[in-house]
Chain A
Amino acid sequence: MTVLIQPFDKPASRWRGLAGSPQIASLVILAIVLVGFSLARPAFLSPLNISNMMAFLPELGIIALGMTLLLTAGEFDLSVGATFALGPVIVMLLAQNGVVDIGTALAIGLLVCIAIGAINGLIVTKIGISSFLVTLSMLMIVRGVALYITQGFPLKSWDQPGVFVTLLADSFELGPWRLYTSLWWFIALTALAAYILNFSKLGNWISAIGSNRNAAVARGVPADAVKIGLFIVTSVLAGLAGMISAFRISAASPVAGTGYELEVIAMVVVGGTALTGGRGTILGTIVGAVMLRAIRNGIVLVGVPGLAFNIFVGAIILVMLILHAFIQKRSFRR
């Protein structure tokens, strides 16, 4: 898809086109970050450390996929972190009190996520309030519900083995690494999201809506329906990620995922997706997700004091954004 949007035909300018594409620029930076940490601390590449990163990566990465599509359509969702907590909390409450079996509980949990996304989407599109305000309010509501129904205490998670536990949070050995099934979910969802955004009719609509909504509507694109659908997808992915996480650590906490909304948005924009809509890249998001995980992990290994840690994360994000801004300036007339 990089090829598709690169018009240059002379070899020299094609090279410049590649270096100037936001995805490639992020890839280069990611390589530098990874090599840097490995040189500073060989333990960064140890099987244990890599396995650790791979356990966390899919959980935020899955949310980032939904967020990428949503941002490309020109909206975003601050309620994902809270949904990440509420989804599994509902599942565990229902399953543990023996109200329903675990399968039904999971289905109900996902239905609640669908409802959250649908309410976000309906208010944003039909009433016309900005997604910042709507999803900020939704963040508080959803987090509040999670805290209230658990009385603030984490729930012990489902520990009986079964098909759902296997599906969501089983782990297996691959060579020296210990990996979780969530990695497969992440890979499959990434492929699906990349296909939709770059190669499908729907992807064309998503980009067009984010780029110029009126133009898309004038061509008969059902912009509101697409946006509502994307809000739902994002909420469902956040809930799914929350359930994966809860099964993995055998606990569902009402405060899980606090601050994830900003971490996920950072991953997406660091990858090169425009916060203003119209331009999204799934490859970039993967790079952004790996980069932020690697940075968080590597900074600790390198021995930066825990409290100073966010200074570095923030600074690296800023550097990435400045880089993207330069690339934008160079390749567009306006």
Chain B
Amino acid sequence: MSAGAEILRLDRVRKSFGNVHALKNASMVLREGEVVALLGDNGAGKSTLIKAISGVHPFDGGEIHVRGQRASIRNARDAMDLGIETIHQDTSLAPDLSIARNLFLGREPVTLPWLGVFAPLDFTALRQAATVLLKRVGISKKLDADVLVNTLSGGERQSIAISRAMQFAAKLIILDEPTNNLGVEETHGVLRFVREVRAAGHGVLFITHNIHHVFQVADRVVVMRRGEVVAERNVVDTDLLSVEALIMGVDASTLAKDTAAH
């Protein structure tokens, strides 16, 4: 868990939507074998930051370095090619497609690859890989790879998105509130997955509002407020109350008195 090589470095990243300055000044570093929890209240800019990294909304200013190299991420394909896999907050699945087709969307196994986008899908490979993957995530109900995502619960969909990120064993996995809507078993599945990814030497950037999960899996917390990264702590050097105080932008002692008064 001691710091490995640097995977991701953000340097004063900025992003505006019209005159909403969603990201004003976000800088942070993430290393191999490290789980970083990205915290902040609603609207702090967390999702915007990870959308910039994953190429969904390329940012307006600042720099991003991947493994020490300056990177330009203009679309999702660029990010994927750099080994960055993202599970977005708003579900990232196509409901009318089967689980198997969703798992390999954008990276379909094909026979006759020289046909380009017209190449036939390799259905055998598709289904086999999908079945193996589904076994790996702790989905309580046994799911068939041919089932339409339409018919799954929110938690099951989340698990599918997570298994997809696992499949492409990326250098960096970003999870935007992955335990939202999940039951107890699935939540533990996600946390176990985060530890597995770290053990494999990858980096994890983990957005959550559940501070307990932070203390269960994260090595470091990065706190955002109104589009800026305002604080950074090692988890071993801090405690729950201090982290909450950082998120709200108040003094930890005030918060402690507040809590005591109730």
Contact = CB atoms under 8 A, between A and B. Distances in A.
B95 A211 contact: yes
Contacts of A200: 115, 117-121
Interface string B119-163: 111010000000000000000000010111011100000000000
A199 B151 contact: no
A205 B96 contact: no
B148 A202 contact: no
Interface stretch (B12-20, B105-113, B184-192, B226-234): B105-113
Could you tell me the dominant secondary structure of chain A's interface residues? helix
A143 interface: no
A205 B144 CA distance: 21
A320 to B, nearest CB: 20
Interface residues of B, number: 39
B39 interface: no
Contact of B110 (A5, A9, A201): A201
Interface stretch (A23-31, A217-225, A231-239, A294-302): A217-225
A204 B97 contact: yes
A332 B151 contact: yes
Interface string B85-121: 0101011111111100110111110100001011111
Contacts of A211: 94-97
Contacts of A217: 56, 75-76
- Tell me if B's interface is mostly helix, strand, loop or mixed: loop
Contact of B105 (A196, A202, A210, A221): A221
B98 A218 contact: no
A221 B150 CA distance: 20
Contacts of B118: 196, 200-202
Contacts of A196: 118
A165 to B, nearest CB: 30
A6 interface: yes
Contacts of A305: none
B217 interface: no
A334 B117 contact: no
Contacts of B148: 5, 7, 332
A175 B92 CA distance: 54
A73 B248 CA distance: 43
A62 interface: no
A204 B121 contact: yes
Interface in A173-220: 195-196, 199-205, 207-208, 210-212, 214-220
B121 A278 contact: no
A7 to B, nearest CB: 4
B47 interface: no
A204 B90 contact: no
A329 interface: no
A163 interface: no
A207 B106 contact: no
Nearest to A196: B118
Nearest to A225: B117
Contacts of A9: 144
B108 to A, nearest CB: 5
A248 interface: no
A201 B77 CA distance: 16
B108 A207 contact: no
A221 B106 contact: yes
Interface string A1-22: 0001111010000000000000
Interface in A304-334: 331-334
A87 B59 CA distance: 44
Contacts of B80: 219-220
A106 B11 CA distance: 56
A201 B121 contact: yes
A279 interface: yes
Contacts of A221: 105-106
Contact of B91 (A205, A215, A220, A278): A215
A215 B144 contact: no
B121 A7 contact: no
Contacts of A4: 98, 123, 146
A269 to B, nearest CB: 15
Interface of B: 54, 56, 75-77, 80, 86, 88, 90-98, 101-102, 104-108, 110, 115, 117-121, 123, 144, 146-148, 150-152
Interface of A: 4-7, 9, 195-196, 199-205, 207-208, 210-212, 214-222, 274, 278-279, 331-334
Task: Return the 8 tightest CB-CB contacts between A and B, nearest first.
Answer: A219-B106, A278-B96, A220-B77, A211-B94, A211-B96, A208-B94, A202-B117, A220-B106
10 contacts: A4-B146, A7-B146, A9-B144, A196-B118, A204-B105, A214-B92, A215-B92, A218-B86, A278-B96, A278-B97
